[in-house]
Homo-oligomer: A and B are copies of this chain.
């Protein structure tokens, strides 16, 4: 059975956990009543399940093909699916209505994005990158630039890319060498090589709008001398069509990689390509980080999305595969053996997965909603908190959820046994595709460092203190309910560990930054566990409320079991993260480099 979009889980989150109907007065929710949102999610499930999912394996096996004329052909079926994506209006779901978008809340867009990524991660990256480029132009572009590019990007007729990495520089953008030479007409000529450019060239859209980081001749060294340019593949014409080819912007080849074969990962050669400055000179990174932060949440989502698809395949296999007998006596006595789901250790892997996926999704949606509140809520305090949370939690969502999402994919293969290692089953592709999510848009180590080095301390620690206070208030409000107690106790316990770790960082990270670096990944994981514990408490609350209201659907009771599993079997990981991070950096830094 192929991937089944988890429509009901999405609706449950929006309706019961996030209760989005309470935000009807916000602009982005004005046209997004619960009924409308439900209908959209239903349709998203159909489109992603029926159109995108069947192409996932095709994309993996065929990959993309580069031609000597610098064009790239996408796998069979991708072009037609992309046409349907555009026709369905999916590319503009969350985009600004001024440019033809539907202006729906971020959280609704996220629901579609998750299903799209589960169904076909490589495919979904084409519109994903385009949306990032859209956001950068929307944030930093002039009115003319917005009018020129955004409507076409909203319809999906044009896609976009992010060009950061060069062969000698990835994380450290200060080293980048691509140069921009100002021309008399106000344009620039861009020359340099960019690598790992997802969706850099393909055959699905009429035009590709490259956003390219480059250094204007004479600019300061390092990150203070980096500007951002729009480098279209074809020059836009006055009537909104495409004109001449920007000859200097070419795809010089494709990268051979472990996964996401259906996405064209391009080497882009810029040779005197025409570019248009976006935003101020030397201030390109600021705009690029608009894309980057959006992309990071999107990557966290990919972690959950691949995990969901891989989990589904594993659960299906575990219910079908007959092998051995239950340790407590046959459960399928008439059959030759029991389905392997009778085995506690198989269930351990599946429940680990389910407990991460369901709360990971909730954490993503919950944070995205904070983004919606940050943009549109009338109360300044709510907007500020929304912004604070988006900043604080973005690295946690990206780092923790991709680390754990990958673990789910590894476990999903394990549930399959030998079958999982063969390419006849989907487990290998999910594992291989998911692996990139731990790396791109800033490796997970970079996320962890962003969290401890930048986000924690921002505004005097306001964001994290607000997060702790919100959890405290939640525990206070619900901890006396007997049904809620296991969840609030678990939450309070791991939150106390996170707070202890935060104190440790304040005391030791400032004195010696290596202590912060040494603690960063364990801290990020401890934060992730705490976030998911908070989500499980809220999910439990919603399920208990349904039951109290007389809804006997086992959907709710089953969620409570998964939540208890999280409390029993995942929260204990917090203890070892805390113990590890408190050992500091001395031993880590002691070994001389040549001894590695």
CA distance A594 to B319 in the complex (A): 8
Query: Is residue A418 within 8 Å, beta carbon to beta carbon, of the partner chain?
Result: yes
A417 touching B257, Cβ below 8 Å: no
A344 touching B514, Cβ below 8 Å: yes
Contact with B along A336-379 (1 / 0, CB 8 A): 11010111111111110010000000000000000000000000
A258 touching B431, Cβ below 8 Å: yes
Query: Is residue A424 within 8 Å, beta carbon to beta carbon, of the partner chain?
Result: yes
Question: How many whole Å from A485's CB to the nearest CB in chain B?
Answer: 15
B172 touching A337, Cβ below 8 Å: yes
CA distance A514 to B463 in the complex (A): 44
A518 touching B449, Cβ below 8 Å: no
Also in contact, A585 and B344, with CB within 8 A (given A258-B431, A592-B558): yes
Q: Which residue of B lies closest to A406 (CB)?
A: B410
B418 touching A345, Cβ below 8 Å: no
Also in contact, A256 and B354, with CB within 8 A (given A337-B172, A585-B344): no
A324 touching B517, Cβ below 8 Å: no
Complex interface: stretch among A106-114, A282-290, A571-579: A571-579
A421 touching B448, Cβ below 8 Å: no
Q: Which residue of B lies closest to A443 (CB)?
A: B417
Among A328, A574, A596, the one with the most B-chain Cβ atoms within 10 Å of its Cβ is: A596
Return chain B residues, CB-CB under 8 Å to A512: 328
A341 touching B593, Cβ below 8 Å: yes
Partner of A414, one of B165, B328, B438, B585: B438
Partner of A428, one of B258, B428, B448, B569: B258
Partner of A350, one of B323, B347, B350, B596: B596
Query: Is residue A190 within 8 Å, beta carbon to beta carbon, of the partner chain?
Result: no
CA distance A349 to B46 in the complex (A): 42
CA distance A339 to B585 in the complex (A): 18
Return chain B residues, CB-CB under 8 Å to A350: 596
B588 touching A422, Cβ below 8 Å: no
Partner of A256, one of B318, B418, B423, B595: B423
CA distance A573 to B572 in the complex (A): 10
CA distance A588 to B570 in the complex (A): 13
User: How many identical subunits does the complex contain?
Assistant: 2
A576 touching B580, Cβ below 8 Å: no
Query: Is residue A516 within 8 Å, beta carbon to beta carbon, of the partner chain?
Result: yes
Return chain B residues, CB-CB under 8 Å to A585: 344
B449 touching A345, Cβ below 8 Å: yes
B432 touching A418, Cβ below 8 Å: no
CB within 8 Å of B: which A558-586 residues? 558, 561-562, 564-565, 568-569, 572-576, 579-580, 583, 585
Return chain B residues, CB-CB under 8 Å to A413: 435, 439
Question: How many whole Å from A486's CB to the nearest CB in chain B?
Answer: 10
CA distance A351 to B583 in the complex (A): 14
A172 touching B324, Cβ below 8 Å: yes
Partner of A591, one of B422, B444, B561, B591: B561
Return chain B residues, CB-CB under 8 Å to A406: 410
Also in contact, A343 and B445, with CB within 8 A (given A518-B348, A558-B592): yes
Question: How many whole Å from A109's CB to the nearest CB in chain B?
Answer: 27
Query: Is residue A171 within 8 Å, beta carbon to beta carbon, of the partner chain?
Result: yes
B258 touching A347, Cβ below 8 Å: no
Return chain B residues, CB-CB under 8 Å to A169: 323
Q: Which residue of B lies closest to A558 (CB)?
A: B595
Query: Is residue A1 within 8 Å, beta carbon to beta carbon, of the partner chain?
Result: no
Partner of A319, one of B438, B572, B593: B593
CA distance A568 to B351 in the complex (A): 30
Further pairs besides A256-B422, A342-B593: 7, Cβ < 8 Å: A175-B323, A344-B514, A421-B435, A561-B595, A565-B587, A572-B579, A574-B576
- What are 13 inter-chain pairs, A to B, with CB distance below 8 A? A256-B424, A257-B421, A258-B421, A344-B517, A344-B520, A345-B518, A347-B589, A348-B518, A350-B596, A413-B439, A562-B591, A565-B588, A575-B576
Q: Which 9 A-B pairs give the minimum distances between C-beta atoms? A: A344-B517, A327-B513, A572-B579, A344-B518, A568-B583, A315-B596, A558-B595, A345-B445, A258-B428
